[in-house]
A and B are shown apart, each in its own frame.
Chain A
Amino acid sequence: MNKLLTSIYKEGILLIRDIEGVVIMFVMPLILVIVVALLQQKAFTGISEDKIPVVIVDFDNDALSSSLIEGIAGSDMFAVTTVQGSDSLMLDNAKRNVADGVFQIGIYIPQNTTNIIKSRAVSMVQQQIPGAIQSNVNDINIQGKIHLFFDPVIKQSFRGIAKSTLMQFASSVETRIIFDAYSKFIDALTNQTSELEFPEKPAIEFSEELVSEFTAGIVPNAVQHNVPAWILFGMFLICIPIAGNIIKERGDGCLARLKTIPVNYLQIMIGKVVVFVGICLIQALLMILVGIFIMPLLGLPQLQVGGNIMALLIVSVASGFAASGFGILIGSMATTHIQASAFGAVSTVIFAAIGGAWIPVIIMPAVMQKISAISPMNWGIHGYYEVFLRSANALEVLPDVSKLMVFATVCITGSLFFRKYGKSL
């Protein structure tokens, strides 16, 4: 125990003396997490709950416009701003705002649009039962027009979605007006007020569910994905300084000296692991703080850490162990610093790519989703997803945690093996 504390003491001193290296280790992933979250925010918008800003210029000010506004505002896709009146300046203004990107969609409902629908409904009733209603309109093909304008950055596919959503609202309003026209006619016919009510909800309801082999039903946003992704990336990047530490120790002859001292090499290794896991934890904490406090300042959603701090800590410690163990293995295998940095960097990038740090596993092709299951980074990211998105408890993150710990153990055992049977010192 004393010897373990002693080796923690030494690793701690060495780490503090190399403060520039530590700062780089912390700062780089912090910059990465912010930059990439900002870059990916648009990409994630499609699958996240971020609202799209919409301006509605309402010159109709009647049943159609009010139910359209109500409907659009009620859907969780849009954030609605309404402008009412009849001044054409308002329309120009709204268009300019869309062009400037203040709003992504503009909807212009001209005057009398509701009236056009009403006339058409009346015409329909009249055509079927001539003379049923006293009216001078008689054009069944009369058509109103709603104008849409889009911010050019909006994708074609998304324009289609927006348009069909609006069409759906418009046609439900139209149905309702037609229904009203008929029920008025029936009232007139039977000479009493009918109890007929247009149903609140549509006859057909859709249920949706995201199905994948990934944790069912959880979809991260840009922040919830990028924070874990770059925590893991940052941790695995630490393998380079760890490997450097071991190679330097070997090159200096210090490792040879340690071999002449009656101390179990495992204790020295554990000393390193403890210190580097500590670094990994500090790094995870910094990233999480950035997610909570800095990201919202940049217009990104705030990181939700879920409710289980214990599980969060366990996932972080296990990820740190896996990353440190990996660094120790590289340090024991590589003979030069250049070898270690090259191998460390490349393998970190590969782990990140297949582990879903850049492209979330959930949107990977099925084959890649299978392959990603072998990347320790994926286990870690998945563990964080579980905690952040589902408030998983310690027991529920156990599968990911045990995979990470087994990986760490295999790496450290491998490095002991290398020390024993590898090249002589």
Chain B
Amino acid sequence: MNKPVVVDIQNLTKIYAGRHEAAVKNLDLQICEGEFYGLLGPNGAGKTTTISVISSLLKPSNGNIVIHGYNLNDNLNKIKQLIGVVSQEIALYNKMTAFENLYYFGRLYGIDKGYLKKRIDFLLDRLGLLKYKNDKILSFSGGMKRRINLLAGLLHEPSILILDEPVVGVDVHSRNVIREFLKEVNADNTTIIYTSHIMEDAEKLCSRLSILDYGEIVEQGSPHALITKHSDCSSLEEVFLKLTGQNLRD
């Protein structure tokens, strides 16, 4: 691996206020430029927590995050410009149209008006939403909202795109469109970090991944390497079940 490390998570621990157990324990993780990196794990494993710390939504209890050589504590605005965050929730204004939402967020990123309008049209078209440009989010289906939610994190062409379960609750068609789109974005040299519960997707998309359980990495490597390593397993899903056990987590 000779590509530069763009996300360097050093000894990250997060203990939520009022909790005894750490949600993430002494996590060390390096992600290189251009990777499509998966964070997998059962419910409550600490995926969202990890992603929230990288996106500066949560303060770590301990540890250090360095992105593109900038320390998260000291260069917050610089880092915010470099990363795009797509949360698990649909973070959009329901009473505003798709265009108004994207325009608003885009302008806050400081994108030039004329260019922003073109980019919004381009992105909407790419995800099959151009004809709904002037419809309120309110009137959108779950899959459509997901896609707009995704676009809102991509307007400023971030170098690193962080996605928390980008395909949760969408139908097979939408999922496919999103997956293809993410591949394209990744091919454009955007580093992607994403969480998912869909092993099949992860196996197809990720260049590398980590399996988290109880806030710790239990295994990491490329999907192919993991399946090879656990020779008794024929798919990523089997590896996952083997490593995280069969018990329910919540």
* Contact yes or no, B94 A262, CB < 8 A: no
* Contact yes or no, A425 B95, CB < 8 A: no
B241 on interface, CB distance cutoff 8 Å: no
Pick from A17, A263, A424: contact of B108, CB below 8 A.
A263
Pick from B90, B95, B100: contact of A253, CB below 8 A.
B90
* Contact yes or no, B105 A253, CB < 8 A: no
> In the complex, which residues of chain A have a beta carbon less than 8 angstroms from the beta carbon of B93?
10, 14, 252, 254
Q: How far is the CA of A254 from the CA of B109 in the complex (A)?
A: 14
In the complex, the chain B residue whose C-beta lies closest to that of A425 is: B57
| Interface range for B | 20 to 34
Q: How far is the CA of A256 from the CA of B85 in the complex (A)?
A: 10
A96 on interface, CB distance cutoff 8 Å: no
Q: How far is the CA of A418 from the CA of B88 in the complex (A)?
A: 24
Q: Which of A1-9, A314-322, A325-333 contacts B (4 or more CB under 8 A)?
A: A1-9
A259 on interface, CB distance cutoff 8 Å: yes
Decide: A261 near B100, CB < 8 A? Known: A17-B95, A252-B92, A256-B57. Answer: no
| Interface range for A | 20 to 34
Q: How far is the CA of A7 from the CA of B105 in the complex (A)?
A: 9
Decide: A256 near B108, CB < 8 A? Known: A14-B96, A261-B80, A424-B58. Answer: no
In the complex, the chain A residue whose C-beta lies closest to that of B88 is: A253
In the complex, the chain A residue whose C-beta lies closest to that of B86 is: A257
Decide: A252 near B107, CB < 8 A? Known: A10-B96, A260-B55, A260-B83. Answer: no
A209 on interface, CB distance cutoff 8 Å: no
Q: How far is the CA of A13 from the CA of B16 in the complex (A)?
A: 36
Q: Main SS of the interface on chain B?
A: loop
* Contact yes or no, B152 A257, CB < 8 A: yes
Which of B92, B104, B109 has its CB near the most chain A CB atoms (within 10 A)?
B104
A18 on interface, CB distance cutoff 8 Å: yes
> In the complex, which residues of chain B have a beta carbon less than 8 angstroms from the beta carbon of A10?
93, 96, 100, 104
Decide: A2 near B107, CB < 8 A? Known: A252-B92, A253-B90, A257-B91. Answer: yes
A258 on interface, CB distance cutoff 8 Å: yes
Q: How far is the CA of A297 from the CA of B93 in the complex (A)?
A: 44
In the complex, the chain A residue whose C-beta lies closest to that of B138 is: A17
> In the complex, which residues of chain A have a beta carbon less than 8 angstroms from the beta carbon of B104?
6, 9-10
* Contact yes or no, A253 B89, CB < 8 A: yes
Decide: A257 near B85, CB < 8 A? Known: A10-B96, A252-B93, A262-B109. Answer: yes
A103 to chain B, nearest CB (A): 57
B169 on interface, CB distance cutoff 8 Å: no
In the complex, the chain A residue whose C-beta lies closest to that of B113 is: A2
* Contact yes or no, B91 A3, CB < 8 A: no
Decide: A3 near B110, CB < 8 A? Known: A10-B93, A14-B96, A254-B91. Answer: yes
In the complex, the chain A residue whose C-beta lies closest to that of B55 is: A260
Pick from A3, A253, A254: contact of B107, CB below 8 A.
A3
> In the complex, which residues of chain B have a beta carbon less than 8 angstroms from the beta carbon of A7?
108
Q: How far is the CA of A158 from the CA of B190 in the complex (A)?
A: 85
Q: How far is the CA of A126 from the CA of B94 in the complex (A)?
A: 99
B14 to chain A, nearest CB (A): 10
B247 on interface, CB distance cutoff 8 Å: no
Instruction: List 12 other contacts, CB 8 Å, given A14-B96, A263-B109.
Output: A3-B110, A6-B104, A9-B107, A17-B96, A253-B87, A253-B90, A256-B57, A257-B85, A259-B56, A261-B108, A262-B76, A425-B57
B residues with CB within 8 A of A: 16-17, 55-59, 76-78, 80-81, 83, 85, 87, 89-96, 100, 104-105, 107-110, 136, 152
What would 30 A/B residue contacts be, using CB atoms closer than 8 Å?
A3-B108, A3-B110, A6-B104, A6-B107, A9-B104, A13-B95, A14-B96, A17-B95, A17-B136, A18-B95, A252-B89, A252-B91, A253-B89, A254-B91, A254-B92, A256-B91, A257-B105, A257-B152, A259-B57, A260-B56, A260-B83, A261-B80, A261-B108, A262-B77, A262-B78, A262-B81, A263-B108, A263-B109, A424-B59, A425-B57
